Chains A and B, each alone.
Chain A
Amino acid sequence: MRKFFSNRRLVIIVIILVVCFGLMAGSITMRNRRNTPPLIQQFGNDIVGFADSAVALPVNWLQTSFSSVNDLMNTYSENRELKQQVTDLAQTKVRNQALAHENKQLKQELKLNSSMTDYDTVTAAVLMRTPSAWQQQLVINKGQSSGIKKNMPVMSDGGLIGRIAEVNKTNSKVELLSDTSESSNRFAIAIHGTDGIVNGIVTGYNASRDELVMGQVSSKAKLKKGARVTTNGMGGITPKGLYVGKVARVGKDDYGLAQKVYITPAANFNDINIVTVAESASQE
């Protein structure tokens, strides 16, 4: 052992440790501060991204074909259920169209170009997930060249799943709401209660029950189980009206002063194949 930890080796080990932690701390701060990673990193990531598609796409394809076979088994019962929903949907759709038309006319009257509910979407496929227990992160195959910017909200299954954490030219990283890092789930949301809307922000994620937590709700409004939760557009980057989930239960915070609302997210964070990135139109 004495020989193994000779002076020279010890110095090298210490230097490596210092460089290692320096690089890690540096890259974490840089990632939080900068809008895009340094050009050389973007370039490298783009090339690796291309190579990755050669492996990821066949694997994804295999999975899709397996799950298609699975779907085929459930077709009959699913079809019956869906038929009922379709009749309902047609009505909602027509009404939606009429309202959208009216909304547009009213906006023109007010000379309002775009409001917080206007957004464009970019659809992307998931290339990979970080193979680590410590980060809940996806890599998607669209980047700056498709108009994606850092911090844009990402949806899947009709519900919010996370935000863009890093953008390269042709691929970007998505931090899921279930990630433990502080910034990953801070979204401004609104709960549509029976007597008005309650605004707040997502303050955490409860992994054991798969629930988002909205803490420090001082409003006296009564919130019922099953109330819909959407983003409220505050902050400017996230558009208004993206579906987040439904209220699962309402509790008191540790001091009994404010309400704490638990929200069941609409999307399953472990089953994401195609994502939609929402780009707020009022941002430009």
Chain B
Amino acid sequence: MYRLSRLKYVFPVGLFVCLFLDGALSHVWAPLFFHYPYSMASELVLLWLTLAYFFENGIEIPLIPFAAVAGIVADLYGSGILGLYMFLFPCVMGLTTILSKYFSSSFLSMIMIFFIDLVAFSTLNYWAYSLVGVTSTPFGDYLVYVLAPTLALNLVYFVVLYWPIRAIFNWATDEKTA
């Protein structure tokens, strides 16, 4: 039961900390993230949501509503353009759910699912923004200068944060004995 576990607090707090860390890290490491011609987008929120799906241990977190809320905040506060992340985050969660049916839940398949999530997420993001006119980068440039560095950065996040996040969820999901 989500409402009775520690996750009730841990999950939303972690989600918003990740959301704000995305912005703060992009600011602090801007020379690294936005070194011409490469741009990396930090997607800790996506990492948190995906890992939450795998580590929830049978406690059903309402992931899609939370993803939508995180999306609205990212839209309004982060980019100022409403309507993209509020749909993309829940869509990616849906994709994770579908994909996880076909793969076992080992470290390698998780990182592969996260990889597919990231590709889908940033490509849809690019596609939508180029339709609306926010960007006019050619698709080839997008693949080389945006998608590749973004994948590299976020997969590093995944490898570094996999065990800490698993520990947090294990602590938050075990029965309150004390």
Contact = CB atoms under 8 A, between A and B. Distances in A.
Contact of B87 (A16, A137, A139): A16
A21 B133 CA distance: 11
Given A25-B132, A131-B42, A271-B31, A137 B80 contact: yes
Contacts of A11: none
Contacts of A51: 16, 20
Interface in B116-134: 125-126, 128-129, 131-134
Looking at chain B's contact residues, the main secondary structure is helix
Interface residues of B, number: 47
Interface in A266-284: 270-272
Nearest to B145: A133
Q: How large is the interface on A (under 10, 10 to 19, 20 to 34, 35 or more residues)?
A: 35 or more
A60 B79 contact: no
A137 B79 contact: yes
A129 interface: yes
Contacts of B40: 133
A128 B27 CA distance: 5
B36 to A, nearest CB: 6
A44 B80 contact: no
A10 B31 CA distance: 43
Interface in B8-32: 16-17, 20-28, 30-31
A28 B78 contact: no
Contacts of B83: 19-24, 26-27
Nearest to A175: B80
Given A20-B83, A271-B30, A207 B37 contact: yes
Among all A-B residue pairs, the 7 with the closest Cβ atoms: A128-B23, A23-B83, A133-B39, A55-B20, A24-B83, A129-B27, A270-B30
7 contacts: A27-B81, A45-B77, A59-B28, A129-B23, A130-B26, A134-B135, A139-B23
Interface of B: 16-17, 20-28, 30-31, 34-37, 39-43, 73, 76-84, 86-87, 125-126, 128-129, 131-137, 146, 150
